[in-house]
Amino acid sequence: MAINLTPVDRAKYAAARRAVDLVEDGMKLGLGTGSTAAWMVRALAQKVRDEGLRLTCVPTSARTADLARELGLRVVPFEDAGWLDMTIDGTDEFDGNLALIKGGGGAHLMEKIVATASDRMVVITDASKEVKALGAFPLPVEVVPFGWQASRMLIEELLAAMDVMGTQASLRMNGSRPYITDEGNHILDLSLGRIGNPRQLSLALNQVPGVVENGLFIDICDAVVIGFPDGMVELRDITSGTVEHERILFEDTENIFSDV
């Protein structure tokens, strides 16, 4: 099976496998959303089956919840779990300080809530997501449907005074209709090119009327696991200042990803 995976999928799988090695029996986990997080959920379910772990999982989207339940993981509502030990999630971009842009999958509001209610956030990714400066990936901003046009206008005015290269805000669409988040909101994608001061921008965006949350994750991620197509992984832990390297074997991918 592994030989049929694309190089990017092999890298994502390697990162997911290394991240679930950090999971211990009895943990309460936040499960991220997106294509990379889906690899992690599958690898986590396999680990639970192999080792008999007792875990409590809080998903960050309806689709993650559906996948986790389908694979036999114990899923509970966030309010029933309380404080979490760790959240494992993907990212759309990350920089050298482990600041992130998330929300390409439309779940950054729940992802940010869950991640900040965890002792640790571990991000799994491939090397292509690392950037010197955030902003090449469009920055998602979740807004309430009422008056979203006014929110967009205010955001574009705000961006003109920020250290960014672009100021265009586009309504995310799902076919011919606006994309709707799990919370019933819209998403504006900001084409910025480069973000000179992510912290300042994040604070300013959340002051705009109608904005619920933005996709900048600042001082939230504690470690990143970077996967490579040959099975090598790099674990950077910003809290301890350590960097570890390891190789993941692919021989068991047929069992884990037989439905992919």
What residues are labeled active site? Answer: 111
Residue 100 CA, chain-centre distance (Å), reads 9
Task: Identify whether the C-beta of residue 207 lies closer than 8 Å to the C-beta of residue 158.
Answer: no
**By C-alpha distance, which of 220, 223, 235 is closest to 15?**
235
Residue 159 CA, chain-centre distance (Å), reads 24
CB neighbour list of residue 181: distance below 8 Å, 6 or more residues apart: 106, 107, 109, 142, 187
Q: Is 72 annotated as a binding residue?
A: no
Q: Is 102 annotated as a binding residue?
A: yes
Q: Is 104 annotated as a binding residue?
A: yes
Q: Is 34 annotated as a binding residue?
A: yes
The upper half-sphere exposure of residue 88, i.e. CA atoms within 13 Å in the direction of its Cβ, equals 29
Burial class (CB in 10 A: 0-12, 13-18, 19+), 124: buried
Residue 247 backbone phi and psi in degrees, to 5: -115, 130
Q: Is 129 annotated as a binding residue?
A: yes
Rounded-to-10 torsion of CA 47, 52, 57, 60? 20
Q: Is 241 annotated as a binding residue?
A: no
In the numeric block, which tokens belong to residue 247? 């190789």
Q: Is 103 annotated as a binding residue?
A: yes
Q: 80: helix, coil or strand?
A: helix
Ramachandran category for residue 183: left, alpha or beta (phi over 0 → left; psi -120 to 50 → alpha) = alpha
Q: Is 105 annotated as a binding residue?
A: yes
Q: Is 89 annotated as a binding residue?
A: yes
CA distance 128 to 125: 8
Task: Identify whether the C-beta of residue 88 lies closer than 8 Å to the C-beta of residue 187.
Answer: no
Q: Is 36 annotated as a binding residue?
A: yes
Residue 31, amino acid? L
CA distance 232 to 255: 21
Could you tell me which residues are annotated as the binding site for substrate?
33-36, 89-92, 102-105, 129
Which residue ranges make up the annotated binding site? 33-36, 89-92, 102-105, 129
